[in-house]
Structure 1
Amino acid sequence: MTTFGWCMPIEHAEELQKYGYDYIECAVAPLLTLDDVAFKKALPLYVNSAIPVKAWNVLFPGDIKVVGPEVNEEIVRKYLARAVETMVQAGSSIFVFGSGRSRSIPEGWERARAEEQILSLLNIIAGELKGTNLVLAIEPLNTKESNIITSVSEGVYFAKQINDPAIRVLADFYHMDEESEPLDTIVANKDWLSHIHVADTGRLAPGTGQYPYESFVAQLKAAGYNGMVSAECTLNDRDKELPASLEFMKSQWAAQGVK
């Protein structure tokens, strides 16, 4: 069954619950970069959230590089182990690997070496996820935010090489629109999709712009996708747009007969 959430700080969980959202998607890096005292104080907010923290984004802080000459595998492994432990404690299902600042290829660094580093990272993550119910969703970003993994098909290219059920791909309506990526790539890569991000024109709230939602949802239906859908965008009038966007999304999905 399709469920709807919003990418927001944990402090807004009760607000989302009030408006009828199913879950909240939070950024993991800001939590993990707190000092120990602040982390221990903050963690219960996620574990005991008013609505479940089913998904996470912003996996790596910008100063932890996963591509290029500054990669420190020991630091990456320790960070990931702590991230997975934290997300398991929160009872989460999905976490997103976007992290454009961490994964972008530095000038002068060979793309082939960058691809090897990303595959190495994904293998490390797959190992960390053994015995958990967590799935990683590789997020294709637009070319203003990253110079590698900029389409759903490219995300699937990396996931296929790992070939592990815990490594899947996200389709983000905003990034797809920015790159003029054909919507039928959703069906073409349906077996690899595990999460969806949405927005609308100007990366604003769903229902406030001209994105072709009817076509987008039709592709999701054709792909058999009925998982989580998170809005990731800027709000101009949260008290109006949060409930209106949920109503809009539910109506778009219902119109296509997607439950």
Structure 2
Amino acid sequence: MAVPIDREATMLGVVWRDLTDASAVRDAGADFVEPYVVGNYVRVEDDVVTALDPGDGLHPSFVVLFAGAVKLSVPDASPDLFASYLDATAAALAREAEPGAFVVLGSAGARNIPEGLDRAVAERTFLQRLAVARDAYAAVGLELLLEPLNPGESNIARSFKEAVELLDSAGLQDVRLVWDTYHAGRSDEDLAFVADHVDRIAHVHHSGPDRLPPSRAPRESLDALRVVLDRGYAGHVSLECDFADVSEVADSLAVVRAYLGQEPANA
């Protein structure tokens, strides 16, 4: 039987697109809300970056970092847009970040390699811009994390193993990763490799297959969390799901908390 997890140490949050619902998500039992950066803290229109100020309070993590217009793998993409985007997001997030907060680089639209572009050139460009972004956010107290996606959504860092190898090739071992169980399920992950490199993981995202909330997903889909929890991961876990509405959040949180404690789930 799996070893019970210390539920007091495992903070359970919810990724949520629109911060106008943040209070309702917290009221449903989330320890924290993980908001989208794009749309809440910054907007890009016609290559003009506008910083926003939602004033929702402090958050330990943020997701959907780069707007699609900010091309991270294209050498001739506007350096001015990239620089202004970093300045705007760093300033906006610094106001509402808890000490030690993470900002997650998933953002397939921004990072994907366009057809016809030499892959080696694109990867080098991506890694260079990732390092610049890491330093820009670190200057305001934020840690940049790279989220491995899946081959259906991205053509770079398409699995945990590929992301580790890509970072290592550029000497960026200090850039930590997100373990996302949805992407892992669509990436044919080498789970033994993930477990052996759990020290590279700073944050976890979870959903059932097809982004189902845990309250509607097969209970065995929660076993993907054990890959890292049973090897010592003790950080935050965020549910990143296609919730029908806020009313589904409480049941899903109850299911996950029951699973983590190996108690009977009654949701």
Please list the CA deviations of residues 190-235 of structure 1 after superposition, one character each: whole Å capped at 9, or x if unmatched: 1110111111122110232226345323222233111111111211
- Cα separation, partners in 2 of 1:76 and 1:145, compared to 1, 3 Å: same
Pairwise CA distance, 1:164:
5.9
2:249 alignment counterpart = 242
- Cα separation, partners in 2 of 1:181 and 1:207, compared to 1, 3 Å: farther
2:3 alignment counterpart = none
2-side partners of 1:151 and 1:211: how far apart? 23
1-side partners of 2:27 and 2:198: how far apart? 33
Return the letter of the residue paired with 2:260.
W
1-side partners of 2:219 and 2:165: how far apart? 27
Pairwise CA distance, 1:73:
2.3
2-side partners of 1:53 and 1:154: how far apart? 29
1:45 alignment counterpart = 55
Moved more, 142-151 or 124-133: 124-133
Which of residues 97, 122, 136 in structure 1 aligns to 2:130?
A: 122
1:77 lines up with 2:89 in the alignment: no
2:6 alignment counterpart = none
- Cα separation, partners in 2 of 1:182 and 1:85, compared to 1, 3 Å: same
1:25 lines up with 2:34 in the alignment: yes
1:155 alignment counterpart = 163
2:70 alignment counterpart = 64
Pairwise CA distance, 1:43:
1.4
1:13 alignment counterpart = 22
Which of residues 206, 210, 226 in structure 1 aligns to 2:214?
A: 206
2-side partners of 1:184 and 1:253: how far apart? 21
Which of residues 4, 10, 15 in structure 2 aligns to 1:2?
A: 10
Identity of aligned residues (%): 27
1:135 alignment counterpart = 143
CA contact (8 A) 1:10 1:26 kept: yes
Return the letter of the residue paired with 1:175.
H
Gaps of 5+ in 2: 1-8
1:215 alignment counterpart = 223
CA contact (8 A) 2:212 2:243 kept: yes
Pairwise CA distance, 1:131:
4.1
CA contact (8 A) 1:159 1:169 kept: no
Gaps of 5+ in 1: none
1:189 lines up with 2:197 in the alignment: yes
- Cα separation, partners in 2 of 1:78 and 1:34, compared to 1, 3 Å: closer
CA contact (8 A) 1:217 1:252 kept: no
Pairwise CA distance, 1:118:
1.3
CA contact (8 A) 2:38 2:65 kept: yes
CA contact (8 A) 2:55 2:96 kept: no
What's the RMSD between the two structures over aligned residues?
2.2
Which of residues 91, 100, 105 in structure 1 aligns to 2:97?
A: 91
2-side partners of 1:97 and 1:211: how far apart? 28
Tell me how many residue pairs correspond in the alignment.
Answer: 246
- Cα separation, partners in 2 of 1:59 and 1:187, compared to 1, 3 Å: same
TM-score w.r.t. structure 2 length?
A: 0.84
TM-score w.r.t. structure 1 length?
A: 0.86
